[in-house]
Structure 1
């Protein structure tokens, strides 16, 4: 059974929150973020205000996949991570 867009956004926020709280993550999590964002961006049911946030998260996930030091990448995006989750909470 596929996830609804609400479930996808919840999962996305959970991964971002974990990155923000734990200050670490995995390439697999970044790949999951990428898949979730791709799926959400093609979904006409999502709030248009979330689209720019999703594009930023997509860039974050791409950079995370390709970085030499993922933990440093996550640390350098701490303020973005919390802001993205707050913004998604206000639109979802």
Structure 2
């Protein structure tokens, strides 16, 4: 199965679902990004929306790869707590908008 990873670019942090693929011919990468959730703040909002409307809004490509509501809950917990399910730190920059 996959795990969340992050990439920083242009001063923003982007969240991806990454899967281990091992050694591939003509490629030194051992993992591949299979889904982009967008920047960190948007990613958490998307995931929470999908959780409340799982049957209709969870991306079909993730369902085809075997991901479930349980996985989605785990990803949300990782983003909110900053700790993965294996106990590793996952530093997420989630800036809340000021309410006026």
Q: TM-score, normalised by structure 1?
A: 0.39
Structure with larger RCO (C-alpha < 8 A, sep 6+): 1
Comparing both structures, which one devotes a greater share of its residues to helix?
1
Comparing both structures, which one devotes a greater share of its residues to strand?
2
Q: TM-score, normalised by structure 2?
A: 0.36
